[in-house]
């Protein structure tokens, strides 16, 4: 059996830290190695525990999740799954986090939704995040130049699919498209409340 994915849970709410930890511990391929109530505690825990993945709350004291995410991506890039309320403001913040380098996002339980339902995909997202290659900000690979002999074919289309964490990758890809790019179809999975922002 391979080594479990190690996770640091960062959230200012003790209840939410407990719910996230319980949801992750249900998966035998994940080990929660610690938790932190704010980014200052999290920074020390990252140094001490060296987790594979961090779950990061958006709204916290001392420094919000976006400010901390920016520091992580600049100083020690690592996979981060954002945990946010699925309100309009939360959705906008989560999209910003994905653009800053977070790998994925998941919503917190709201309106009486059981944590088991709200966090049903959490373990899957954390394991996928552990496999992600996270690069320092501004360190994206150069887009190769298009081949010189390209001729559009009306019988073919280019299809691109991305998940919640693919915002930045899509931007990089689209910016590299030549003017004579073939017809392109893009699908991106985003929770419904994110698309309202």
**Per-residue pLDDT tens over the stretch 49-98:** 999 999 999 888 788 889 999 999 998 999 999 988 765 566 778 788 88
User: Per the domain annotation, does 181 fall within a domain?
Assistant: no
Are residues 100 and 66 in contact, defined by beta-carbon separation less than 8 angstroms? yes
User: Per the domain annotation, does 140 fall within a domain?
Assistant: no
User: Per the domain annotation, does 106 fall within a domain?
Assistant: yes
User: Per the domain annotation, does 116 fall within a domain?
Assistant: yes
Among 5-14, 16-25, 163-172, which stretch is predicted with the lowest mean pLDDT?
163-172
pLDDT at 50: 96
As a whole number, mean pLDDT of residues 124-151 equals: 69
- As given in the structure block, the two tokens for residue 87 are 């309100």
Helical spans, DSSP H, in the chain: 14-25, 39-49, 65-75, 88-100, 115-118, 122-131, 167-175, 192-195
pTM: 0.71
User: Per the domain annotation, does 139 fall within a domain?
Assistant: no
Domain count, the chain: 1
Work out whether strand 158-162 and strand 80-84 pair parallel, antiparallel, or are unpaired. unpaired
User: Per the domain annotation, does 141 fall within a domain?
Assistant: no
CATH of the domain at 97: 3.40.50.2300
**Which residue range forms the structural domain that includes residue 92?**
5-131
User: Per the domain annotation, does 48 fall within a domain?
Assistant: yes
Other beta carbons within 10 Å of 17: 19
Cα dihedral across residues 77, 81, 84, 87: positive or negative: positive
User: Per the domain annotation, does 168 fall within a domain?
Assistant: no
């Amino acid at each position: 059996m391979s080594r479990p994915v190690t996770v640091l849970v960062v959230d200012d709410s003790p209840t939410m830290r407990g719910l996230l930890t319980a949801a992750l511990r249900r998966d035998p391929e994940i080990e929660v190695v610690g938790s932190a109530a704010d980014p200052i505690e999290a920074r020390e825990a990252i140094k001490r525990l060296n987790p594979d993945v961090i779950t990061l709350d958006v709204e916290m004291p001392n420094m919000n999740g976006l400010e901390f995410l920016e520091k992580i991506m600049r100083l020690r890039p690592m996979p981060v799954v954002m945990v946010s309320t699925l309100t309009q403001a939360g959705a906008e913040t989560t999209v910003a986090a994905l653009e800053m380098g977070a790998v994925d996002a998941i919503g917190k339980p709201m309106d009486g939704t059981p944590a088991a339902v709200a966090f049903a995909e959490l373990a899957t997202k954390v394991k996928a995040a552990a496999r992600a290659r996270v690069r320092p900000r501004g360190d994206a690979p150069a887009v190769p130049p298009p081949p010189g002999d390209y001729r559009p074919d009306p019988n073919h289309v280019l299809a691109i699919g991305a998940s919640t964490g693919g915002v930045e990758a899509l931007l990089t890809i689209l910016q590299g498209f030549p003017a004579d790019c073939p017809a392109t179809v893009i699908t991106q999975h985003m929770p419904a409340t994110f698309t309202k922002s």
